[in-house]
Amino acid sequence: MKFDTPATTNPIDQLKVVGQPLDRVDGPLKTSGTAPYAYERHDVVANQAYGYVVGAAIAKGRITGMALDAARAAPGVITIVTAETAGKLDKGKRNAATLFGGPEVEHYHQAVALVVAESFEQARAAAQLVQVDYAKAEGAYDLAAAKQAGVEPSEGSPDQKVGDFEAAFAAAPVQFDRTYTTPDQSHAMMEPHASIAAWEGDKVTVWTSNQMVDWATTDLAQTLGLPKEQVRIVSPYIGGGFGGKLFLRADTLLAALGARAAKRPVKVALTRPMMANNTTHRPATIQRIRFGAGRDGKLTAIAHESWSGNLPGGEPEDAIQQSRLLYAGANRLTGNRLATLDLPEGNAMRAPGETPGLMALEIAMDEMAEQLGLDPIEFRVRNDTQVDPANPDRPFSQRQLIECLRQGAERFGWDKRATKPGSRREGRWLVGIGVAAGFRNSMSMPSGARVRLDAAGVVTVETDMTDIGTGSYTIIAQTAAEMMGVGMDKVVVRLGDSSFPVSAGSGGQWGANSSTAGVYAACVKLREAVAQKLGFNSADTAFADGQVRAGNRSAPLGQAAGEGGLVAEDTIEYGDLAKQYQQSTFAGHFVEVAVDAATGEVRVRRMLAVCAAGRILNPKSARSQVIGAMTMGVGGALMEELAVDKRHGFFVNHDLATYEVPVHADIPHQEVVFLEEADATSSPMKAKGVGELGLCGVGAAVANAIHNATGLRVREYPITLDKLLDRLPDAA
């Protein structure tokens, strides 16, 4: 199905099932421990052996020797795989570094060997006996030093210039110029990267934890030098990904190589330190923001430049993208600068680009509002735009940012906020309220599905879409139930198998809208097949309560399937609507904090997100996504930071004991409000995405609340108490 004109009225608009806050259909499996995650698939293949990864002990250089005899002789060892014995390996197009190092080492903890044994403990013990000799080379591990030495604009993300920023900035009556930094961050999902691989002849099946099944299939096939049809990826349940499982990683490749060498199934899970240093992370940024404005508070000049680093072939952290669209201003300069760093690969982490970008931009907006003597919300409202600032002929399809801020202000009690920072006190606590705009672009991806109907009237959906804990099973079931006029009890959803039609996958906030639109397209075909089988005019046919009706005729849905059943398959494909309209999502984030006047300890007291994100397909699961994102925003603001050893080039705090993330005690009541919205330009579902929007802007809202509480401005994340302590008021 080609979606190239705005959606009109369709069966989804009934909202009998879609749009309802239904419980997760996979909930009972998750809560009972019977949802089969990758490493626990003891049922899929017998005689599984265990692989343990040996990671490089240097960040850059060469392997000069590897002693394996002691490890080979250890109890239970079946085989040891190295890059030398693995045979020729290519590199997947989505990987910056090779997944199996040797003799060259490209980053710390790059996999250099896999020890396969009868038990995990035997494999781990033998891996300690592998002796690797290195010739260490000098590397670059310091983003600030690289920036100082000079970094060119990124070729993959060139500067965008609109008007004449320099002239407008120089002429502006009010000028602003500040620099902000965000640190490297880890996805820190609960489930590690884990895979089980088994060969049958020259075909390999991998049960793995991966968000994008087709990407994993394609890149594993390319890496192994196999035709794609000889690789099968199965990933029905994923215990968190946040972008860290978008791409083929070492666990999947090494499980396949280990199984081939051992001639039996092999399972591999990366240890927590490996997850930090071997897989991807969110790269650190240094961001310079400049504003020029008139005395009336209207921005006339906007510049946002961001520096980040990556391995050769990697991409920048696109922290400037929201600044191209969020606020009006005739003269603009935005661009990324990419430094070559020899740290582990930087890549997508939940809401890549906008998350660190808004952490800087939305503090800058508060600072500029203060400089102008304007209320922070009023300043944002004055600089709202309903069109793409770089292309005024291209309107936003929907843009309710002002409504998000206005409604949020009313609900949160913005009028009670102290206008003088540091002036509200409750005993030992300094109390403040902060706001930030949330913004995340809405992207669409082609997505396919297969729909089967049987004689009992049961509808089965098959698509390689994944569920990373976000509710894909449920909203896909809701879509099929709405389209075919059946209850949720008559829908079966099968996900995460590369033998199913290729879907959008889970990432970029495109998953929900695109994958359900693919199911919609397949159901349109199935409805036509049902009507034809029953001899009904498809244009007049209604599907409801398990019945098919046309005029005064009706029949049970299952009757059309007969004993052989009916099958329909289709893919939603998008035309140029995204070029004609800027499709984005918006939020107003509000946070209240209390800061201990003596210690600088920060406690978040209240949080509110007001979101405008198209049709909400399931308010219950959407709320869960948003509060999870808000929690991650608190982590980014107050505690999350991968500490870089700039001598040896690795992340020191590579476990959950020292890489701090919020726990339940850190998070107060969180309120989420969804504005009424249906975006006809996005898809037949008229939805967008909301999971990443819930994170975008939260960090800045926390930072702005801390400033309102204390009068202190911190521009280096995370805002730990040491950055406040020596500047707190004297009287505690």
What is the Cα–Cα distance from 533 to 552, expressed in whole angstroms? 17
Residue spans of beta strands (DSSP E) within 442-552: 447-453, 459-463, 491-495, 542-544, 547-550
Cα-based angle 51, 54, 56 (whole degrees, multiple of 5): 155
- Asked if 448 and 503 touch (Cβ cutoff 8 Å), the reply is yes
Which of 638, 641, 644 lies closest to 663, judged by CA? 638
What is the Cα–Cα distance from 495 to 477, expressed in whole angstroms? 11
- Asked if 694 and 625 touch (Cβ cutoff 8 Å), the reply is yes
DSSP labels for 256-280? HHHHHHHTS-EEEE--HHHHHHTS-
Q: What is the pLDDT of residues 126-152, one digit of tens each?
A: 999 999 999 999 999 999 999 999 988
Please give the pLDDT value at position 135.
98
Please give the pLDDT value at position 153.
83
Please give the pLDDT value at position 152.
83
Q: Which pairs from 254-257 meet CB under 8 Å and 24+ separation? A: 254/51, 254/53, 254/81, 254/99, 254/100, 254/111, 254/114, 255/51, 255/195, 255/196, 255/197, 255/206, 255/208, 256/195, 256/197, 256/199, 256/204, 256/206, 256/220, 256/224, 257/81, 257/86, 257/100, 257/114
- Asked if 438 and 696 touch (Cβ cutoff 8 Å), the reply is yes
Neighbours of 153 (CB within 10 A): 14
Which of 386, 383, 382 lies closest to 399, judged by CA? 386
Which of 238, 466, 358, 433 lies closest to 694, judged by CA? 358
**Residue indicated by tokens 């391995």:** 311
Query: CA torsion sign, 635 to 637 to 639 to 643?
Result: positive
DSSP labels for 382-432? HT--SEETTEEEEEBS---HHHHHHHHHHHHTGGGS-SSTT--EETTEEEE
- CATH number (3.10.20.340, 3.30.70.1290, 1.10.10.10, 3.30.365.10) of 445-573 reads 3.30.365.10
Catalytic hit among 118, 573, 692, 716 = 692
Copy the structure tokens of residue 306. Answer: 């961001």
Please give the pLDDT value at position 661.
97
* Residues of the chain where predicted confidence (pLDDT) is lower than 50: none
Q: Which fold would CATH assign to domain 354-443+580-727?
A: Aldehyde Oxidoreductase; domain 4 (3.30.365)
- Asked if 503 and 464 touch (Cβ cutoff 8 Å), the reply is yes
Which of 467, 470, 512 lies closest to 493, judged by CA? 467
Q: Which pairs from 391-394 meet CB under 8 Å and 24+ separation? A: 394/579, 394/580, 394/581, 394/582
**What crossing angle do the helices spanning 619-638 and 354-372 adopt, rounded to 10°?**
70
Domain boundary assignment for the chain: 44-138+187-277, 354-443+580-727, 445-573
Neighbours of 427 (CB within 10 A): 9
44-138+187-277 with 354-443+580-727: one CATH topology? yes
Which of 137, 69, 128, 72 lies closest to 108, judged by CA? 137
Please give the pLDDT value at position 731.
58
Per-residue burial over 267-292, b if 16 or more Cβ lie within 10 Å, else e, is bbbbbebbbbbbbbbbbbbbbbbbbb
What is the Cα–Cα distance from 321 to 362, expressed in whole angstroms? 13
Cα-based angle 264, 266, 269 (whole degrees, multiple of 5): 180
Copy the structure tokens of residue 12. Answer: 């989804």
Q: Residue 336 is inside which H or E element, if any?
A: strand 331-340
What is the Cα–Cα distance from 700 to 434, expressed in whole angstroms? 8
What is the Cα–Cα distance from 186 to 85, expressed in whole angstroms? 32
Whether 692 is catalytic is yes
Which of 91, 732, 699 lies closest to 436, judged by CA? 699
What are the φ/ψ torsions at residue 365 (nearest 5 degrees)? -65, -40
pTM exceeds 0.95 for this model: yes
Please give the pLDDT value at position 132.
98
Pairing label, strands 203-208, 231-234: parallel
**Residue indicated by tokens 């209320």:** 375
Neighbours of 117 (CB within 10 A): 26
- Asked if 256 and 53 touch (Cβ cutoff 8 Å), the reply is no
What is the Cα–Cα distance from 448 to 570, expressed in whole angstroms? 6
**What crossing angle do the helices spanning 619-638 and 698-710 adopt, rounded to 10°?**
50
**Interacting residues of 205 by C-beta distance below 8 A, sequence separation 6+:** 45, 197, 198, 232, 233, 234
Copy the structure tokens of residue 678. Answer: 């249906």
- Provide the CA 155 distance to its chain's centre, in angstroms: 24
For 44-138+187-277, CATH gives 3.30.365.10
What is the Cα–Cα distance from 287 to 167, expressed in whole angstroms? 21
Please give the pLDDT value at position 483.
98
Copy the structure tokens of residue 26. Answer: 């996979």
205: which strand partners?
A: 198, 232
Copy the structure tokens of residue 5. Answer: 């004109």
What is the Cα–Cα distance from 404 to 410, expressed in whole angstroms? 10
Burial class (CB in 10 A: 0-12, 13-18, 19+), 75: exposed
**What crossing angle do the helices spanning 698-710 and 354-372 adopt, rounded to 10°?**
30
- Asked if 22 and 244 touch (Cβ cutoff 8 Å), the reply is no
